[in-house]
Amino acid sequence: MKHAKEPQLSRAKLAVLGIVILAIGLGAAAFSAGRSSSSQTSSSSTEATTKPPVVDKKDPYSQYRVKGWIAEENAKPGTTEWKIPDDRAMWAKVEGFLDTTSIDVGGSAVLKVSTRAKTWTVSAYRIGWYAGNGARLIWKSEPQPGVNQPKAVQNAATKTWSAPWAPSLTINADVTWPPGQYLLKLDSDDGGETFVPLVIRDDKSTSDLLMQSAVTTWQAYNGWGGASIYTGTNGRADVVSFDRPYTGNGSGEFLGREREFITFVERYGYDVSYWTNIDLHQRGELAKNHRGIIIPGHDEYYTVEMRKNLEAARDAGVNIGFFGANNVYRRIRLEDAPTGEARLEVNYRDATRDPLYGKDNERVTTSFRESPAANPESSLTGSYYECNPVEADWVVGDASMWMFEGSQFKNGDRVSKMVGNEYDRVTPGAPTPANIQVLAHSPVTCRGKASFADSTWYTVPSGAGVFTAATFGWSPRLLDACPAGPPTTPICKLQKVTENILNAFAEGPAGLKYPSVSNLAKFGIATPRAPSTSSSTTSTTVRR
């Protein structure tokens, strides 16, 4: 689909944008020269501005904490040169990985690259809207000498594959590197191209929205060297390492699961910052500095610390948006390696094989819904993972709910083939918030069994709201801009629903304005079991 003309702004949004631009012109001396004002502003800017935002001249990174900078950033020239052809032979010619999944602004990361080519370069692209181009080139290296690094090695006990490679280049992200999601593109002189993902976070940010990248799930599915958590040449791995490239084009599950949502939030100029779920594990208290946490993709693999930190943020009034499915399903541990902190991801699956069994049962790496410390994901996400693979229409169930305002959706309307390849549902036998509301109730048939996929909304006493899409089909439908005016196509209607959710999240605890009231009777769903962390539940899951 071609990128359509971007939506026109309301007078209210234009007024807010004018204030932001004026403030930047007066006080943002640290902004780089030549930065032009944007033609659009954040859809979340609903509060009156009483005084200009202040940029701390002693901290050059404070320029990225002024509302409006995302719109300013995306007004800069973008490029499509970041894209890589779908060519496995090309990907195999150059590979790389970093010694970390994220860095704070101004930080550095060590890049390790292997290629048979004589030389290679790395280009850093920040992912965003950029007039539909999808990225902006921030930096490019000089040609580097090619080195064919050693072959992968395996820890026989855990079947962990890793790349024992020497450092190739230290990347220093100075103030010209704005916070965001990056793809580092490796190009070798023999025609090789591949990606290395990197998140540049801002630990001092108090942005309205915080985007979370699901790197532990990417790593669980990564079979580079010989094994993933699922399969391997001599059996699945109990532990996987971040010290290796991702298979395929090197981007993990970023493209097709997360990039499209990032494009959407940056297109509308939301006040947003970025981190990974490892950051949720390591510095989860910072989640409380934001109004909403957005999880756009497949965030399946969680440590106990990740889950507790996310629940603590919710209970402190931070909204959560799960725009995928099968979230918070597998319980993992992160362990240090000689190469750094949290470089190993542990998931034994079988409790009796886990060295912590009988010693620290809370962290035994079964699924969260399984013993010896069952705590099903549904008490947090609202919905309960059920089955895959599936492909079905997404069906509007209760168009009277607040997120449908202005979308033109009516009960029974459909978005074609949006449910899949995995889905969640409200499951009465699983611990579920009693006040949960179903906004979409979509018939599915998975492995011969008829069921439903349920997109849901519930609120908690702190005022926070939790939204779950229950399908991987949501984010991909946010990539292309819709024409101005009332939405007419199913995808444009869905984008309006997304905008309503993000606007509500950006204003603060959304449950204060939109408290959930159970509508399960409308769909013939029995009252679910109350959440409990001490009881187990019978798993009805069909897994890969």
From CA 94, how far away is CA 116, in angstroms rounded?
8
**Local confidence band at 57 (pLDDT 50, 70, 90 cut-offs):** confident
What separation in angstroms does the CA of 39 have from each of 71, 73, 74, 114, 254? Answer: 8, 11, 10, 42, 28
Question: Which residues does residue 186 pair with via DSSP β-bridges, in sequence order?
Answer: 122, 194
From CA 490, how far away is CA 51, in angstroms rounded?
40
What pLDDT, on a 0 to 100 scale, did the predictor assign at position 441? Answer: 98
**How far from the centroid of its chain's Cα atoms is residue 532's Cα?**
27
Cα atoms found within 13 Å of the Cα of residue 313, Cβ hemisphere only: 28
How much is the mean pLDDT over the chain?
A: 90
pLDDT per residue as tens digits for the range 287-317: 999 999 999 999 999 999 999 999 999 999 9
Residue with tokens 């002189």: 189
Residue 279's φ and ψ, nearest 5 degrees, are -65, -35
Residue 231's φ and ψ, nearest 5 degrees, are -140, 165
Q: What angle do CA 56, 59, 60 make, to 5 degrees?
A: 100
pLDDT per residue as tens digits for the range 452-464: 999 999 999 999 9
Domain annotation for the chain: domains and CATH numbers: 11-74 (no CATH), 88-290+330-363 (2.60.40.1930)
What pLDDT, on a 0 to 100 scale, did the predictor assign at position 361? Answer: 98
pLDDT per residue as tens digits for the range 60-98: 999 999 999 999 999 999 999 999 999 999 999 999 999
41 pLDDT higher than 80: no
**Local confidence band at 531 (pLDDT 50, 70, 90 cut-offs):** confident
- ω into 421 cis (within 30 of 0): yes
From CA 133, how far away is CA 392, in angstroms rounded?
30
Q: Is there a contact between 309 and 344 (Cβ–Cβ < 8 Å)?
A: no
Q: What is the mean pLDDT of residues 218-235?
A: 97
pLDDT per residue as tens digits for the range 424-442: 999 999 999 999 999 999 9
18 pLDDT higher than 60: no
355's CB contacts (< 8 A; 6+ apart) are: none
pLDDT per residue as tens digits for the range 464-484: 999 999 999 999 999 999 999
Quote the pTM value. 0.89
pLDDT per residue as tens digits for the range 387-427: 999 999 999 999 999 999 999 999 999 999 999 999 999 99
Q: Is there a contact between 499 and 347 (Cβ–Cβ < 8 Å)?
A: no
pLDDT per residue as tens digits for the range 132-152: 999 999 999 999 999 999 999
Q: Quick one: three-class SS letters along 39-55?
A: CCCCCCCCCCCCCCCCC
